[in-house]
Amino acid sequence: QIQLVQSGAEVKKPGASVKVSCKPSGYTFTTSGITWVRQAPGQGLEWMGWISGYNGNADYAQNLQARLTLTTDTSTSTAYMELRSLTSDDTAVYYCARATSSNAGFHYDYWGQGTLVTVSS
């Protein structure tokens, strides 16, 4: 069965960076992309970006583009999300999800368990 397993919770100070990993299993990594979504406490879902598992091409949300880097390591079939210059507004649960194409766009059919990132001094 398809699973996406994420790295554990992180506590960071303002100004620091965080890197979260996402390791899918149950399908060939290079055949699908990975999207990253975050959810601040008590808030809705926010799309952060997408990266191709095939060639590493990435798209980023405009409001995060300057601070966000998505990468993949095809040798270990792992995707990474790095967010820099953290503030308290970045405190959230971060999810990775497999992106599957539909007729006009992508949907996210399998999700990781989420990684809580807390930014606090």
Partner 1 sequence: QSVLTQPPSLSGAPGQRVTISCTGRSSNIGAGFDVHWYQQLLGTAPKLLIYGNNNRPSGVPDRFSGSKSGTSASLAITGLQAEDEADYYCQSYDHSLSGYVFGSGTKVTVL
**Binding stretches for partner 1 (CB under 8 A):** 35, 37, 44-47, 49-50, 59-62, 95, 97, 100, 102-109, 111-114
CB-wise, 74 or 102, nearer to partner 1? 102
CB-wise, 63 or 74, nearer to partner 1? 63
CB-wise, 18 or 58, nearer to partner 1? 58
Q: Is the dihedral of CA 83, 86, 89, 95 positive or negative?
A: positive
**29 DSSP assignment:** G
The two structure tokens encoding residue 100: 């599957």
Q: How far is the CB of 45 from partner 1 (least distance, A)?
A: 4
Q: How far is the CB of 103 from partner 1 (least distance, A)?
A: 6
Q: How far is the CB of 106 from partner 1 (least distance, A)?
A: 7
Q: How far is the CB of 55 from partner 1 (least distance, A)?
A: 19
SS3 sequence of 38-107: EECCCCCEEEEEEEECCCCCEEECCCCCCCEEEEEECCCCEEEEEECCCCHHHCEEEEEEEEEEECCEEE
Instruction: Return d(Cα 60, Cα 45) in angstroms, integer.
Output: 15
CB-wise, 57 or 74, nearer to partner 1? 57
